[in-house]
Amino acid sequence: MEEIEYLKKYYKGNIEDAIKRLENGEPVQYIVGDVDFYGNIIKVDKRVLIPRRETEELIEKTLKLVNDNIDIIDLGTGSGCIAITLKIKLPNSNVDAIDISGDALDLAKENAKLNNVDINFIKNNMLDNIDKKYDLIISNPPYISYGEEVMDIVKNNEPNIALYADNNGLFYYEEILKECRKNLKDNFIIAFEIGYNQGGNLIELVNKYLDNVEVWIEKDLQGFNRFCFVRGEIHE
């Protein structure tokens, strides 16, 4: 079993206890306590979503669209994996990271310290009362609709607040898009991880709230529509 081999390689405690936890339906990442994300060690536990390969792809694609020495905000930071990786890759940039969960922010701060990066963590609901302007807004928000089928190991372990959203999973994208104009610099990028079937709806939402922008969908390595990018200029 792949997970057992993973435990034997990375788990530092009693392996028999770890295997029991695995058999009881606990994700192997929570048992080990950390994951390798984009070459960096990120601590994880039930306070945060487990970082996935698709989110590494989001970062990889985003890095091709931006330069260093920019202002970045990561909305719904969770473990901090996106903010931390961007700060490592763009060391001259300023990175703010938002989450509504104080527990998630506590762990994200631990991860920033572990990876020796300086990030401004803010407990907040997305862009509410945020006045600063950014070159890059990036987010992997909750995007699973409440009626969608989800694996038991995910819904029984990972925080629901990081998984589910109203309006068929589109709620947080709309919240961000309808508020973000005040937070965008003259030339900007918005980068979203999305559900595989949400691309068309995301394009509609972008065009509803932002004028004269380029918006496109990109696929993940499995061929699913997984990322939405917006590039534009603000003209007052």
For residue 30, being part of any structural domain is answered with: no
Taking the C-alpha atoms of residue 47 and residue 171, their distance in angstroms, rounded to an integer, is 22
**Domain-embedded: residue 35:** no
Query: Residue 209 falls within a domain, yes or no?
Result: yes
Listed as own residue / partner, the contacts of 164-172 with beta carbons closer than 8 Å and 24 or more positions apart are: 165/141, 168/198, 168/201, 169/142, 169/143, 169/144, 169/145, 169/195, 169/198, 170/143, 170/198, 170/201, 170/202, 170/205, 171/142, 172/75, 172/76, 172/126, 172/139, 172/141, 172/142, 172/143
Q: What is the pTM of this model?
A: 0.95
Res 7: pLDDT: 87
Please tell me the predicted confidence (pLDDT) of residue 234: 61
Give how many domains the chain has, as a whole number: 1
Does 92 map to a domain? yes
- Decide if 124 is inside a domain: yes
Low-confidence ranges of the chain (pLDDT < 50): none
Provide the residue range defining the domain that includes 119.
49-233
Q: How do residues 25-57 score in pLDDT, each as one tens digit?
A: 999 999 999 999 999 999 999 999 999 999 999
The CATH number of whichever domain residue 217 belongs to comes to 3.40.50.150
